[in-house]
Amino acid sequence: MEALAKTRKLGGSLIVTIPKAVVEHEDIGENQVVKINVKKVKKDFFGAFKGIGPFTKEDELDIE
């Protein structure tokens, strides 16, 4: 399963929240070790994401 997530700063680290749909689909629970594959999302053209603002709950992908 694949999803987009936005990084956030917490202290000196960056964190990523796993979307609820992924958690449910993969049956992930608290304190489990998971393996992730990190890839930066590339813009399709100059300024593609300019002005979109921060991600919200409504921005989560509906992957089913």
3-state secondary structure 11-48: CCEEECCCCHHHHHHHCCCCCCCCCCCCCCCCCCCCCC
Number of compact structural domains in the chain: 1
pLDDT tens for 9-39 read: 999 999 999 999 899 999 999 999 999 988 8
Which domain range does residue 33 map to?
Answer: 1-37
Does residue 6 fall inside a structural domain? yes
Does residue 49 fall inside a structural domain? no
The mean pLDDT value for 49-57 works out to 63
Does residue 10 fall inside a structural domain? yes
In terms of pTM, does the model score above 0.75? no
Does residue 7 fall inside a structural domain? yes
In the predicted structure, residue 64 carries a pLDDT above the cut 60: no
In the predicted structure, residue 46 carries a pLDDT above the cut 70: no
Does residue 47 fall inside a structural domain? no
Does residue 42 fall inside a structural domain? no
